[in-house]
Amino acid sequence: MEPRPTSFYFLTGFFALFVLFLYGPTITIGILSFQGPEGGLTFPMRGVSLNWFRELFQEQAVGDIWGAFRRSFALGLMVMVTTVVISVMAGLAFRKRFPGAGLLFYLAIASLVIPSILVSLGVGLIFTQLGLKIHWTTSGFGSQLTWTLPFGLLIMFAVFNRFDKSYEEAARDQGATAWQTLRHVVIPIIAPSLLGVALFGFTLSYDEFARTLLTAGSYNTLPLEIFGMTTNVTTPVIYALGTLTTLFSFLVIGAFLLAVWVMGKRRARHGSDAGKGV
Amino acid sequence: MTEMAGEVRAAAAPVAARPVAGLSKAVAGWLQAAPLAAILLAFLVAPIAMIVVVSFWKATEFSIIPAFSFENYEFLFGSPVTYRVFLATFKYALVTWAATLAIGFTVAYYLAFHIRSQTVQIALFLLCTIPFWTSNIIRMISWIPFLGRNGIANQALIDWGLIDAPLEWLLYSDFAVILAFVHLYTLFMVVPIFNTMMRIDKSLLEAARDNGASGFQTLVHVILPLTKPGIMIGTIFVVTLVMGDFITVRFMSGSQKANVGRLISNDIGLLQYPSAAATAVVLLCTVLIVIGILLRFVNIRKEL
């Protein structure tokens, strides 16, 4: 191996600072959430306690956090499943170069770059004017999909751009139907990327704020609840909540990454099992 | 059972459709794209159309009334606040763009060209992307203990003897807003730039070196031009996210600063939907014009 240039050490330092910049604040509130009962929002620590976590679990102290968490979790799962299914279908459609594909693609890109508050405002207006009930499972769900679907679609583009068509041709040559080819050849090959789409679907929904602001109705999702707290809670209880939801996010991300890793290992050991189910 | 039915249907389709293969392919494509199209029509196109319509409506204190009036636009363009706020929005976008580009490019360059083991590369890349999947609101809140009047930054500066009294402009200021933007959105630069850098043929770099180019010359004359598409995609993300933001500005400035997004959300708070809609239409046009200019430099579909 050739020796590292000086720039390597300089850049390593820069990268380390960047990572500190990314994670430092989160770690800080992680520490501060263990403040003693008299402690405030900044250092110094006045003792160490679980006081603020305890307070979170007492329903009356702060709003309906657990209800909000349950709603956000359910909505995250709904958005995740829908995003995976629709993204795969759309990904397959775009391979066929159907008329109107260009327009639909630009619409999806527009969905990414149009300010979230416009989606929120527009969906809210439509639901009110049509006399429909604004609810997180309807208007909130649809608004969030306009944010998660483009990401899912972009991942599918990346996947299918690299997809080796000869696998499908081989399956077809051996008499597999279109559905069998999809079910036993294409899906198993792209499965790890589908986990990626699922991760985007769940986490982007779970953390979404702007698109749910005017579309969630009378029941808040967790980010809305947390934002509400920022205006009237001035104790470390908000750090405790932040620490818990961040840990939850890390747990979800970890689970997905682990699943991808296990899938890769199994595949390396057994070779692809695509087609065995036929 | 359902699976079998599906197989039968799918099996039947190509046989029946063979004479008009082109058309059947288009129909299959449409069917598969239909759910995506339906959702985008219902929750993107229709809401935007609704906003455009409502921007011509009138409002009383309690309700909004269908009308065709340019009142909202007249008020918007007649108010000096509008121009100030749009200017502030562009300022946020420009400064954030410059900072995220500088940081994002450096980080991507380090990951793509200085890390030799692929496993380490993936691990470090994930380390950079994980915060993207956590809550933005929490990440904003987490700056309070750092930037506050008695926060870590002020304490450290006082301890080091650099300042005598706490700096007041760390939190609830333009500085805090831009810091939060950079914190939240640098990732949107890192990922596309890293993606394009990874596809640069390494033999080009060797060729540059063999011809006597220094590391810096290779960076400026080979890597930078080849990375432009990634930079453009990152730019589109960062600029549109910053221009459409309202929550970061509100939270990090302690409601002391304004951008266009806040103008809209304030009107919404006052139930002045037509006025909010008119501002939203102008914001949308501005964002689309900016993107239109940026898109002239890159073909997104080729870059995935």
Does A246 contact B143 at a Cβ distance shorter than 8 Å?
Answer: no
Question: Is B9 inside any structural domain?
Answer: no
Question: Is A99 inside any structural domain?
Answer: yes
Question: Is B13 inside any structural domain?
Answer: no
Question: Is A41 inside any structural domain?
Answer: no
Residue range of the domain that includes B129: 70-303
Return all residues near B277 (Cβ < 8 A) that are at least 6 apart. Answer: A121, A125, B51, B52, B54, B55, B57, B72
Report pLDDT for A192. Answer: 87
Compute the Cα dihedral for B157, B163, B164, B169 and give only its sign: negative
Convert the pLDDT of each residue in B246-289 to its tens digit.
999 988 888 888 899 999 998 888 888 999 999 999 999 999 99
Please list every residue in chain A whose beta carbon sits closer than 8 Å to the beta carbon of residue B131. Answer: 22-23, 26
The CATH number assigned to the domain holding B218 equals 1.10.3720.10
Closest residue, chain A, to B31 (C-alpha): A93
**Contact map slice: B 33-62 vs A, CB within 8 A:** 33, 35-37, 39-40, 42-51, 54
Question: Is A254 inside any structural domain?
Answer: no
- Report how far residue A263's alpha carbon sits from residue A200's, in angstroms, rounded to the nearest whole number: 18
Question: Is B8 inside any structural domain?
Answer: no
Convert the pLDDT of each residue in A132-147 to its tens digit.
988 999 999 999 999 9
Smallest Cα distance from A60 to chain B, Å: 22
Looking at the fold, whether B33 and B164 belong to one and the same domain comes out as no
Higher pLDDT, B301 or B269: B269
Question: Is B277 inside any structural domain?
Answer: yes
| pLDDT above 90 for B292 | no
The CATH number assigned to the domain holding A122 equals 1.10.3720.10
| pLDDT above 60 for A255 | yes
Confidence of residue B67 (pLDDT cuts 50, 70, 90): confident
Question: Is A212 inside any structural domain?
Answer: yes
Looking at the fold, whether B114 and B23 belong to one and the same domain comes out as no
Residue B147's nearest CA partner among B131, B165, B167, B119 is B167
Question: Is B155 inside any structural domain?
Answer: yes
Question: Is A37 inside any structural domain?
Answer: no
Smallest Cα distance from B36 to chain A, Å: 6
Question: Is B236 inside any structural domain?
Answer: yes
Question: Is B1 inside any structural domain?
Answer: no
Residue A100's nearest CA partner among B117, B33, B282 is B33
- B44, A108 Cβ separation under 8 angstroms: no
Question: Is A241 inside any structural domain?
Answer: no
Looking at the fold, whether B31 and B167 belong to one and the same domain comes out as no
Report pLDDT for A271. Answer: 63
Compute how many other C-beta atoms are within 10 angstroms of the C-beta atom of residue A132.
11
B contact test, residue of A106, A114, A241 with most B CBs within 10 A: A114
Convert the pLDDT of each residue in A78-91 to its tens digit.
999 999 999 999 99
Looking at the fold, whether B30 and B155 belong to one and the same domain comes out as no
- B238, B188 Cβ separation under 8 angstroms: yes
Question: Is B257 inside any structural domain?
Answer: yes
Question: Is A47 inside any structural domain?
Answer: no
Convert the pLDDT of each residue in B90-149 to its tens digit.
999 999 999 999 999 999 999 998 888 888 998 999 999 888 888 888 899 888 888 887
Report pLDDT for B10. Answer: 42
Amino acid at site B296: R
Q: For chain B, what percent of residues have pLDDT higher than 90? A: 41
Looking at the fold, whether B157 and B276 belong to one and the same domain comes out as yes
Looking at the fold, whether B97 and B240 belong to one and the same domain comes out as yes
Looking at the fold, whether B81 and B38 belong to one and the same domain comes out as no
Tally of domains within chain A:
1
Query: 3-state SS of chain A?
Result: CCCCCHHHHHHHHHHHHHHHHHHHHHHHHHHHCCECCCCCCCCCCCCECCHHHHHHHCCCCCCCHHHHHHHHHHHHHHHHHHHHHHHHHHHHHHHCCCCCHHHHHHHHHHHHHCCHHHHHHHHHHHHHHCCCCCCHHHHHHHHHHHHHHHHHHHHHHHHHHCCCHHHHHHHHHCCCCHHHHHHHHHHHHHHHHHHHHHHHHHHHHHHCCHHHHCCCCCCCCHHHHHHHHHHHCCCCHHHHHHHHHHHHHHHHHHHHHHHHHHHHHHHHHHCCCCCCCC
Tally of domains within chain B:
2
Looking at the fold, whether B75 and B27 belong to one and the same domain comes out as no
- Report how far residue B88's alpha carbon sits from residue B100's, in angstroms, rounded to the nearest whole number: 18
- DSSP secondary structure code for residue B59 in this structure: E
> Across chain B, what does the average pLDDT equal?
86
Residue B136's nearest CA partner among A65, A241, A209 is A209
> Across chain A, what does the average pLDDT equal?
87
Residue range of the domain that includes A84: 63-232
Confidence of residue A158 (pLDDT cuts 50, 70, 90): confident
Question: Is A190 inside any structural domain?
Answer: yes
Report pLDDT for B12. Answer: 41
B contact test, residue of A19, A125, A162 with most B CBs within 10 A: A125
Report pLDDT for A62. Answer: 56
Averaged pLDDT, A209-229: 88
| ipTM of this complex prediction, to 2 decimal places | 0.87
Higher pLDDT, A58 or B140: B140
Looking at the fold, whether B74 and B50 belong to one and the same domain comes out as no
Higher pLDDT, B217 or A2: B217
